[in-house]
Amino acid sequence: MNNESMRVHDGLLPDAAPISFIFNERKYTARVGDTLASALLANGQKLVGRSFKYHRPRGIFSAGPEEPSALVELRTGAHREPNTRATVTEVFAGLEASSQNHIGPLGFDVMAINDALSTFLSAGFYYKTFMWPKAFWEKLYEPIIRAAAGLGKLSVQEDPDTYEKGFLHTDLLIIGAGPAGLSAALAAGRAGVKVLLVDEDFLPGGRLNLERFDIDGQSSAQWASNAMAELTTLPNVRVLTRTTVYGVYDHGIYGALERVSDHLPTGSHDKPRQILWRIYAKRSLLCSGATERSIAFGNNDRPGIMLAGAARAYLNRFGVSPGKQIAVFTNNDDGWRTAVDFQAAGVEVTAVIDTRSIAPPVDINVPVFMGNRVCDTAGRLALHSVTLTSGETIYCDCLAVSGGWSPNVHLTCHQRARPIWDDTLAAFVPGTDLPAEMQVAGAVNGDMDLASALNAGHQSALSILKNTGNNAKIPPAPQANAESSRITAFWQVPDCLGRAWIDLQNDVTTKDLQLSHREGFRSVEHAKRYTTLGMATDQGKTSNVLGLAVMADIAGQTIPQTGTTIFRPPYTPIPIGALAGRSRGKHFRPTRLPPSHNWASTQGGSFVEVGAWLRAQWFTQAGETHWRQSVDREVLQTRKSVGYCDVTTLGKIDVQGRDAAQFLDKVYANTFSTLKVGRVRYGLMLREDGFVMDDGTTARLAEHHFLMTTTTANAVSVFRHMEFCRQCLWPTLDVHLVSATEQWAQYAIAGPNSRRLLEALVDEPFDISNEGFPFMECATLTVCNGTPARLFRISFSGELAFELAVPARYGHALMDALAEHGKAFDAVPYGLEALGVMRIEKGHAAGNELNGQTTAANLGLGRMVSAAKDCIGKTLSTRPALNTNDANQLVGFIPVDSQQSLRAGAHFIDEGAPLTLASDQGWMTSVAYSPSLQTSIGLGFIRHGQERMGDQVLASSPLHNEQIAVTIVSPHFVDPQGERLRA
Amino acid sequence: MLINHPQLGPRDAAEFVYLGDASLMHRPDAQSPTAAEEFHDYLHLRDNPAGVHRELWYHEQGDRAWLIVTRNTLTHEITNVQMARDVALAEQQGHVAS
């Protein structure tokens, strides 16, 4: 069948030139305004997929976002998107779709063997069947199950689409543009309220487009169209179509996904694919409507069996008849409208079967079976007949089933409210504990007929106007007839021979729920997890209430006693790409570039991420083939002559105020109030629990002005901590903090020729001699003919060294100047690796040693904790357990065999001791190859370290099956007396 | 969540860093004879109420103010937001005055 032979009239779609699309490599035609589902049905394609577990043939079950069965893969290549609901996919010219979850052709799926094996595949089967032998699970069972289960397949390529994030602020968010939503939007919009109206369909109107109702003398679809036309002219109203509000968050924040270009051919536009909106709404009105549900009877899952309202939707909106012979099976009056509409359209209606033993609610000239039920169906790949409990066989290729309508209460429950069971509606309605500032109106609130829904939307808008003091005069609510929607709850047809499906998406039948009950998984939350009822892409929109009712039946309880599972965001699936937005790849977080970055990238620099910073690791020169060659050269040349290195990334905090010195005394373990202006001091900062938090140097630039530095990694957290101290602990102190990390480019210039190099840069009359500018001095000066600068005589390398800071914008130029003037001394730029080697050679602690588990005493800095004053961490640093005699002490290590390389993380044990925790003496924190000593060296913590100089222990790494004999030495491998840095 | 900053108005919670119970503002006196115990309790013993909670939030992506946010941990309803420094000043000056 082809050529849209099942399109019986125009519906709401203009009869324009057809567009073509591809399904399973075959070309079909469709109309603009079709969904993929309506287009497939128009072409008589009923079989569209295979079920999750049993690979049963499946067709189109619904006409909206609730679809459990008609899941397809869209597009090809990297654009392929699995598990897409055909019922909400707009057809466009060239759309490529294919069915999923089958091996071989859709009509002959070899995996359908699972259906014959269904006895072994009941709920929880893999917990029971695949238990032994245990080793088989990972290698055999799981791969097979994973390959067999699941639905569509990912492209396994990077998502080529772009996604955006957006933020919207509104006074009134109206969710859903059906009868209630449109009525409310018109009332509020006409009164001048700032309204955001959101609808997930591409044609707003909800069921107004699906029914043959009249409003104010027009067809409901025309009324909806007119309403939308008016709303789009109102400057205070914004309408988002193709947009699903998927979650309700705290304080009036809503998540919404707009499908901006999913309905456009790939490559035909430059728009993002989707926008994830964060909506800040002062109040909201939920008009999300209701979703129809099925009835459980034998073999109720064949292609051609669909919800009665969906059948009507295909007919009235798309002009498509899902079959040539329609039968209706219902427990309510609404189902009868399907029979009426199809008969009016000239489609044969072969029967109406109503579970209720009442007079037929509609006078209709078709075979009517009151108080009867469908108990089985026939037709392998498509329905051809149904059997009633009374024994009759009814021929039909479409069975329209209505088990009643369930209000879409999901969003009312995202703040943990529970819905309430309404016996008259046989449905859950929103509870009283709604999210703050949310109202509900229309079918979601149980206003099932059109007149009530229109009026409820209007009245809700009026109450909002009243509450906000808006006295605008607006026209009255639109008028319509109230149709009947009487229902008598009926859930499952008893004593059916065939399996009766509840959840089509997860292949959950009534038998699975019985099994779950028998095996003790009786709470709804347990039964859900055990049977998978209500999981996956549809989250049980058509199956949950039916499942609860069947569980209540089995347990002999009422539905309210059984309760519901918790509704959580998202309402419908949200692509990970949309949640990520632009935060992908390099844009995942900002990259911070130090001021010399561009310069370094022209000098053979290799870069490494340090937090968000990109720092030069080393500078490769011609002929160097291994990074160690570059690093060794940089270290040796710096120690021999001079080297320079960008240390801008260290945190810089400007501390000013009359009480700045007192403040620093409180946050640092050592004292800064005694520091003279123009001097620099190393500071050790503790956490309140007594462990070391951070370290760095602080310069006193003026009486009430300090510039302190933090480690690169802790720049943010130390600043946060200091603001806490300033604002929350000592608010009376006159002190102010500003982060200056990015304002100043700062370079270390180290090596015996560093002073001579700087002599060429500093302006007269600055005296940079050892007498004029001794070790641990700081100064404000100018360099390079007038560039403002700060100079610090501090050394991390152990050499005669300086750190020179200039405003960041001069950073590149200063590097040029250093390189230019450094030529006379064969000066080298050095990177992070050489910096690390030199600090290990000097025995300076860094991040590996300040890992949050070490105390000042561990580091050999116990005397820095001033006894004369209180400071953060002082009291608890005196805890006895932190001050035992056998505490770890920082020392140095060299391998006994200088050919061996040490390994950070190795643990120290005595020779001959067993490799157990009890033998553990400490651990190696930092290692490097020292080109100065021509051996591998390490720093580490070991018990009694200071008393064990010269001892041999084993550095053991069981992970690498490695034990290296090491000698305990002073951590100061180079210039232990500190003569060079004072030179 | 939205936090109604006393000086900047409603700001998204994503701009803030959370610390915890506002009792962290009451640092014990190191001179107290029972300082060790007091610091232990200060640092490690916090109430974790299911309900109204006064807690410290830091406006790191904003004006760097520490705020005391009174929040219901069950509903996330925020009933009060204060500048922590103002509260600390009032408490300490009150203490000095008495």
Domain A653-739 is found in CATH 3.30.70.1400: yes
Range of the domain at B20: 2-97
pTM of the predicted protein model: 0.91
Instruction: Give the minimum alpha-carbon distance from B3 to chain A in angstroms, rounded to a whole number.
Output: 9
Pairwise CB contact (< 8 Å): A874 & B30 = yes
The CATH classification number of A163-290+407-467 equals: 3.50.50.60
What distance in Å separates residue B85's CA from the closest CA in chain A? 5
pLDDT more than 70, % of chain A: 97
Confidence of residue A153 (pLDDT cuts 50, 70, 90): confident
pLDDT at B98 over 50: no
Which pLDDT does position A771 carry in this prediction? 97
A597-649+743-839 is classed in which CATH architecture? 2-Layer Sandwich (3.30)
Let me know if the fold of A292-404+486-562 is the same as that of A597-649+743-839: no
């643990």: which residue's tokens?
A907
As a dihedral over the C-alpha atoms of residue A551, residue A554, residue A558, residue A563, rounded to 10 degrees, the angle is -30
pLDDT in tens, A891-932: 999 999 999 999 999 999 999 999 999 999 999 999 999 999
User: What are the residue ranges spanned by the domains of chain A?
Assistant: 1-157, 163-290+407-467, 292-404+486-562, 597-649+743-839, 653-739, 884-983
pLDDT at B64: 97
Residues A613, A618, A621, A625, Cα dihedral to 10°: -110
Position A132 confidence tier, pLDDT thresholds 50, 70, 90:
low
**Stretch A783-798: mean pLDDT:** 97
Do A728 and B89 count as a contact with CB atoms less than 8 A apart? no
CB within 8 Å: A252 and B2: yes
Does the pLDDT of residue A2 top 90, yes or no?
no
Which CATH number covers residue B61? 3.30.2270.10
d(CA A252, CA B2): 9
- CB-based contact A543:A293 (threshold 8 Å): yes
pLDDT of A139 = 72
3-state secondary structure A420-467: EEECCCCEEECCCCCCCCEEECCHHHCCCCHHHHHHHHHHHHHHHHHH
- For chains A and B, CB pairs below 8 A equal 70
- Residue A126's pLDDT band (boundaries 50, 70, 90)? low
What is the mean pLDDT of the segment spanning B16-29?
A: 96
DSSP element (H, E) containing A633:
helix A627-640
User: Shortest CB distance from A876 goes to which of B24, B31, B39?
Assistant: B39
| Mutation target among B26, B27, B46 for the A interface, most CBs of A within 10 A | B27
Give me chain A's average pLDDT, please.
94
The full DSSP string for A472-539 is ---PPPP-B------B----B-TT-SS-BEEETTTTEEHHHHHHHHHTT--SHHHHHHHH-TT-TTTT
B-facing residues of A in 137-196 (CB < 8 A) are: none
Mutate to test the interface with B, among A279, A689, A725, A728 (most CBs of B within 10 A): A728
- Kindly state the DSSP code that residue A653 receives in the 8-state scheme: E
pLDDT band at A542 (very low <50, low <70, confident <90, very high): very high
A583 inside 8 A of chain B by CB: no
- CB-CB contact of A147 with A136 (8 Å): no
CATH 3.20.20.150, applies to A292-404+486-562? no
pLDDT digits (tens, 9 = 90+) for A464-502: 999 999 999 999 999 999 999 999 999 999 989 899 999
Quick: pLDDT tens for A877-899. 999 999 988 899 999 999 999 99
Q: What are the chain B neighbours of A253 within 8 Å (beta carbons)?
A: 1-2
Q: Which of A280, A720, A870 is opposite residue B58, by nearest beta carbon?
A: A720
Q: Using 50, 70 and 90 to split pLDDT, how confident is the model at A149?
A: low
pLDDT digits (tens, 9 = 90+) for A543-582: 999 999 999 999 999 999 998 888 999 999 999 999 999 9
Asked if the Cβ–Cβ distance from B36 to A689 is below 8 Å, we say: no
Q: Which CATH architecture describes the domain A884-983?
A: Beta Barrel (2.40)
Chain A residues closer than 8 Å to B92 by CB: 731-732
Inter-chain CB proximity A723 and B58 less than 8 Å: yes
Q: Do A879 and B2 touch (CB under 8 A)?
A: no
Residue of chain A minimizing CA distance to B57: A724
Confidence of residue A597 (pLDDT cuts 50, 70, 90): very high
- Fold of the CATH domain A1-157: Ubiquitin-like (UB roll) (3.10.20)
Instruction: Spell out the residues 6+ positions from residue A544 whose beta carbon is closer than 8 angstroms to its own.
Output: A406, A533, A534, A564, A565
Task: Provide, as residue numbers in chain A, all residues whose Cβ is less than 8 Å from the Cβ of B19.
Answer: 724
Q: What radius of gyration do chain B's Cα atoms show?
A: 15
Q: Residue A635's pLDDT band (boundaries 50, 70, 90)?
A: very high
Partners of A689 on chain B (C-beta within 8 Å) are 43
Q: Which residue has the tokens 């105390």?
A: A855
ipTM above 0.90, yes or no: yes
Question: What distance in Å separates the CA atoms of residue A30 and residue A19, rounded to the nearest whole number?
Answer: 5
Q: How is residue A640 written in tokens?
A: 């021999």
Q: For residue A875, give the nearest of B36, B77, B83 by CB distance.
A: B36
Segment (H or E) for A814: helix A811-822
SS (H, E, C) chain B: CEEEECCCEEEEHHHCEEEEEHHHHCCCCCCCCCHHHHHHHHHHCCCCCCCEEEEEEECCCCCCCEEEEEEECCCCCEEEEEEHHHHHHHHHHHHHHC
Quote the distance between the C-alpha of residue A32 and its chain's center.
35
- Confidence at A1, pLDDT banded by 50, 70, 90: very low
A593 min Cα distance to partner chain B (Å): 20
A758-780: average pLDDT: 97
A867 CB-near residues (< 8 Å, 6+ apart): none
- Please compute, for residue A30, the number of CA atoms within 13 A of its CA located in the half-sphere on the CB side: 27
pLDDT value at A797 more than 50: yes
**Which residue of chain A has the CA closest to B26?**
A729
Interface contact A437, partner B, CB < 8 A: no
Domain tally for chain B? Answer: 1
